[in-house]
Amino acid sequence: MVSKSGTNELHGSVYEYLRNSFFDAPQFNAPTVAPFRLNNFGGSLGGPIIRSKLFFFTNHEAVRQMFYKQNTGYVPTDA
C-alpha cells in the first residue's frame, strides 16, 4: 500500500453503484422477474488537522442487497 502525503486542503469523493431487477430479463420458465436490488455506496474524506504537520483520512463503504430466488420443481402424481 502506498499513501501520499497530506495536503492543506480538504479532499474527498463519493460514489454509488446501483443494480436492480428493472434491468433484468425474466428466466426461461418464469413469467415475471424476481425482485433484486443492490446498492454499493460510500465516500472518503481527507485533510489537515495541524497545517503541514498532521493529516487525517477516513473512508466508509456500505452494501445493501435484497433478492428473492424462485425455485421450480416437479411433484410426481399419485399414479
Q: With a cut of 50, which residues of the chain have pLDDT below it?
A: none
Query: pTM score > 0.75 for this model?
Result: no
Q: Report the pLDDT value the prediction gives residue 36, as an integer from 0 to 100.
A: 85
Specify the amino acid at residue 15.
Y
- φ/ψ of 70, rounded to 5, equals -100, 125
Going across the sheet that includes 54-67, the strands are 11-20, 36-50, 54-67
